[in-house]
Amino acid sequence: MTSFLIFLAIIVAVVMWGVGIYNRLVNERNRVKNAFAQIDVQLTRRHDLIPNLIEAVKGYMKHERETLEAVITARNAASSSLDAAKADPANALAMQELGASEGALTSALGRLFALSEAYPDLKANQNMMQFQEELTSTENKVAFSRQAFNDTVLQYNNSVQNFPNNLIAGFFSFALASFLEIESEEKREVPEVSFT
């Protein structure tokens, strides 16, 4: 009878240990989703500001239609990618597409702001200055949210991959989450150095 109770106690301890690991993995997966929700808020705000920015600069930059259209196209692509990533923040392809489309949007906005320098009236326009300030603020919030998201993904992925958690994670099909990397084309370019 005592050996049966000892065996039963061991089985209960193993089950409780497994339940504890499972619950921790669920909690961390939910933290990843929550962290992505914070990115979603900031990127949605960014996407919502862009049509107003375009309207503010349209009158001044009539000859720069191609740049304005590039910003609108990049904004629409980024918005679609965000919707796809919202559906499953752990999807590696969705995160990769979101990062690429946000990088393209950042580049298009950079070209728009660079062109606006050639229009002194636009540069001094109060609406333009306000939109630039709001976009800059939102960019900073996106960067902060992305860092928090990537930190949460790292913690979750470590929990999924570490032994003995990986036994429970594998049994219950906990997939690894993907990092969100948004890089602009400018960061990838090698700067030219000249000693003339």
Query: Assign residue 122 a region: left if phi > 0, alpha if psi is -120 to 50, beta otherwise?
Result: alpha
Q: Tell me what pLDDT residue 78 has.
A: 93
For residues 101-127, give the mean pLDDT.
80
Q: Which CATH architecture has domain 33-183?
A: Up-down Bundle (1.20)
Q: Tell me what pLDDT residue 62 has.
A: 66
Handedness of CA 9, 12, 18, 19 (dihedral sign): negative
E strands of 9-94, at which residues? none
Average pLDDT, the chain: 84
For the beta carbon of residue 191, count every other beta carbon within 10 angstroms. 5
Helix (H) / strand (E) element for 134: namely helix 126-161
pLDDT grade for 135, boundaries at 50, 70 and 90: confident
Helix (H) / strand (E) element for 18: namely helix 2-58
pLDDT grade for 10, boundaries at 50, 70 and 90: very high
pLDDT tens for each residue of 12-23: 999 999 999 999
Q: SS3 of 180, please?
A: coil
| Integer CA distances (angstroms), 87 to 31, 60, 126, 135, 148, in order | 15, 39, 38, 25, 19
Handedness of CA 152, 157, 163, 166 (dihedral sign): positive
E strands of the chain, at which residues? none
pLDDT tens for each residue of 43-71: 998 899 888 888 877 776 666 778 888 88
Residue ranges covered by each domain of the chain: 33-183
Q: SS3 of 83, please?
A: helix
